[in-house]
Amino acid sequence: MRFLYIFFCQDKDTQVRLEMKHRKEEDDLYRKFARQREEEEFKFKEEFREEWEKELEKLTSRFERELANKRKKPDEQKVLTLRLQKEREDLEKNLTLRRDKKKESLTRKLLEHERAATAALVEKQSKEMMNLINEKRSEFMRAESLYIDDDYQTEELFPYPSNPPAPQPPGVAKTDIYHNPLVFADIDQIAISVAQEDQKTFTDLVRMLIGRCGSDVEKARTIFRWITVKNLNTMQFDDTVRTDTPMGLLRGIKHGTESYHVLFKRICSYAGLHCVVIKGYSKSAGYQPGVRFEDNRFRNSWNAVYVAGAWRFVQCNWGARHLVNAKEVPKPGSKSKSDSLRYEYDDHYFLTDPKEFIYEFFPLQSEWQLLKTTITLKEFEDLPFVRSLFFRYGLYFPDENTKAVMVTDSTGAVTIRIGMPSNMQASLIFHYNLKFYDNDTDTFETISLKRFVMQSVVGNVVAFRVHAPCSGAFLLDIFANAVTPREYLTGEPMKFKSVCKFKIVCEDLQTVMVPLPDCASGEWGPMKATRLFGLVPITHQDALIFAGRELECQFRMSRPLTDFMATLHKNGSEEKRLAKYATHYVTGDLVTFKISFPEEGQYGMDIYTREVNSMGNSSGNNAEQSNEKHLLTHCCKYLINSSKRNQV
């Protein structure tokens, strides 16, 4: 890195001169864009005027012919005149709609052309900037070789490659480069600080960003964080912005001709990093599992940057997030609230591993999958639709046949299993939502579709057993959040974010499915009680219980709990009527629930409790005990099939 330090500190003028040459080329290109838009606008207006005059002449001629035939009938002439006026208004309205649609199409085509031309210019200029840096590096290496002993080793003896290497799968995973984003805390802070200031040249910007970077990874990181902090999509630009101003640097963003990935490539070249723009498909906004990539609707672009000895993916646009505790980025020079701000971003999209990136992005050139074994577009479509949080939590699919579209069996049932890493089992909480695929309806015959899904946890696997109530297609959205037991018990609302979605298809239902009892939402079984409350099941470890007309369910407390309560639920029965059939008693560290079922059938049992000296009330899972009026927190629930045949 010593070469870059000398280059950026002592040879700034050389890079500035090249940047000024590039800026003149951009000026010429943008003037060309402006001329083309003016010419197309004039041509478009003339075509519309000619079309309007032609159609109006046809209408007027027809009116005059009809009017000539009705000269002796004043009433008919009046009716005809009113009809002409109405037809003229309709003609003007229809032509205006056609004009607006045609203009929108023309504007889109012009913008696509301008984006392509801008990308081509940035590609050329990036090569020229990299060539300049390589030339200066070679001069530095030749000078250094005169003073380096044979046994002396520096990074410059193993220089960054002069030419971009061919795409190959990286030899090590992202976690081998860094395991925790906090290792970049100082680098990230530099990017945040620089983003709040103004720079008139990319040369100045890059010097401020990478002046203290010690590796190519850190250089790529600070550029990534600067772009994600800058929040380019919400920036306000003056129509008269000059090219030699700070905002002039980002004029491509203003005009829509330059995007995150083109800007990232441009800045990387100033920092001496090889970077490419990759085009392809992405499972972006509006995508749902099962959708085929048959047109340009989900076309996207992203970057690969060469760092740590390999090509690695970067997606600045998806990595960009917002400010926490602030409505807008502080204005340049403002320091009043900067210390209290926290800039959120998605670290998943920085140096993403190819095996994870392929779930969301499919390049048109297969070699840029960076996988040892490439996949087809059909295989990409079939991959489960997952979000970045899925990988942040270390989740995975233990079943190889898990696809984006899951087909039920003849009973309408299908199971989706998600594996959890050992370090996340104690903190992850899952929820789900089920609705019809083609609309937002989440009920079937007034019953929530959630009651046709059974969520349970066994070991390190959470399972979602879906029972379709009818034939058709459904959308299963699975959410997750990592919380500590203390956070769960404080009563603060928990925000769950989507980790994956599936299309559930029931082609032919041969069994009538009944909904599960109307219990609290979330997982079935005692695992939640153990994770969050330290309540260990003694008698029943599974979510499903087969019982006779009576049942005793016992737990051991590993920490003090109080105010237990159990509620029964049964389809067709009121909860109040069932209240007297569930009781409990506590003996030492043992708590026992006794249930006497009034009749055979399927029941759901919710168990609530709270810690001693706690008033926790987790949002959506609370029950009010009639005597003490304490808000309790949902602990766990069981599904119980009561039958005389199960009586021991």
Q: How far is Cα 206 from Cα 204, in angstroms, rounded to an integer? A: 6
Residue 219 has pLDDT above 80, yes or no: yes
Question: Residue 154's pLDDT band (boundaries 50, 70, 90)?
Answer: very low
Torsion over CA: 440, 444, 447, 452 (sign): negative
Q: CA angle 558-562-564, nearest 5°? A: 105
Q: Report which of residues 418 and 621 the model is more confident about.
A: 418
pLDDT per position as a tens digit, 337-351: 444 455 678 999 999
CA atoms within 13 A on the CB side of 585: 3
- Which pLDDT does position 461 carry in this prediction? 95
Average pLDDT over residues 132-161: 64
pTM score, whole prediction: 0.83
Q: What whole-number distance in Å separates Cα of residue 421 and Cα of residue 394?
A: 6
- Confirm if 36 and 50 have CB atoms less than 8 A apart: no
Identify which has the larger pLDDT, 629 or 106: 106
- In this prediction, residues 515-542 reach a mean pLDDT of 93
Written as one letter, the residue type at 645 is R
Residue 556's Cα: distance from chain center in Å? Answer: 41
Instruction: Classify 465 as helix, strand or coil.
Output: strand
Q: Residue 629 has what pLDDT?
A: 33
620 pLDDT exceeds 60? no
Residue 216 in contact with residue 309, Cβ under 8 Å? Answer: no
Q: What confidence score (pLDDT) does residue 252 get?
A: 75
Which single residue is written with the structure tokens 């949080």?
389
pLDDT band at 244 (very low <50, low <70, confident <90, very high): low
Q: What is the mean pLDDT of residues 593-620?
A: 80
Looking at residue 588, the DSSP 8-state letter turns out to be T
Cα–Cα dist 602/544, whole Å: 10
| Cα(492)–Cα(321) distance, integer angstroms | 23
pLDDT at 80 over 70: yes
Q: How far is CA 329 from CA 16, 194, 221, 321, in A?
A: 28, 12, 20, 12
Per-residue pLDDT at 98 exceeds 50: yes
Inter-axis angle of helices 202-210 and 2-10, nearest 10: 140
In this prediction, residue 342 carries a pLDDT of 54
Q: Which amino acid is at 209?
A: L
pLDDT value for 519: 94
In this prediction, residue 617 carries a pLDDT of 42
Give per-residue pLDDT as tens, 478-510: 999 998 877 777 666 778 999 999 999 999 888
pLDDT the model gives residue 547: 94
Indicate whether 228 pLDDT > 60: yes
What pLDDT shows up at residue 503?
Answer: 97
Any idea which of 52-66, 351-365, 540-554 has the lowest mean pLDDT? Answer: 52-66
**pLDDT tens-place string over residues 260-270:** 899 999 999 99
Pairwise CA distance, residues 115 & 238, whole Å: 21
Residue 316, number of CB atoms within 10 A of its CB: 24
pLDDT bucket at 536, cuts 50 / 70 / 90: very high
Q: Kindly report which listed range (67-71, 234-238, 410-414) carries the lowest average pLDDT score.
A: 234-238
pLDDT of residue 65: 81
Mean pLDDT on 597-622: 75
Are 531 and 429 within 8 A, CB to CB? no
Q: What is the pLDDT of residue 484?
A: 80
pLDDT at 299: 92
Helices (H), 250-338: 251-255, 260-270, 316-319
pLDDT given for residue 241 in this prediction? 55
What's residue 419's pLDDT? 97
Residue 615 has pLDDT above 60, yes or no: no
Q: How many CB atoms lie within 10 A of CB 165?
A: 11
Could you read off the pLDDT of 366-420 as tens digits, one per residue? 999 999 999 999 999 999 999 999 999 999 999 999 999 999 998 999 999 999 9
- Closest C-alpha to 302, from 260, 341, 344: 260
610 band by pLDDT with thresholds 50, 70 and 90: confident
At 624 the pLDDT is: 45
Burial class (CB in 10 A: 0-12, 13-18, 19+), 72: exposed
Q: pLDDT (tens digit, 9 = 90+) per residue, 301-325?
A: 999 999 999 999 999 989 886 545 4
List, as one string, the DSSP characters of 144-176.
HHTT--TT---GGGSPPPSSPPPP---SS-HHH
Average pLDDT over the chain, rounded to whole? 85
How far is residue 338's CA from residue 321's CA, in Å, rounded to a whole number? 17
Q: Mean pLDDT, to the nearest integer, of 439-448?
A: 92
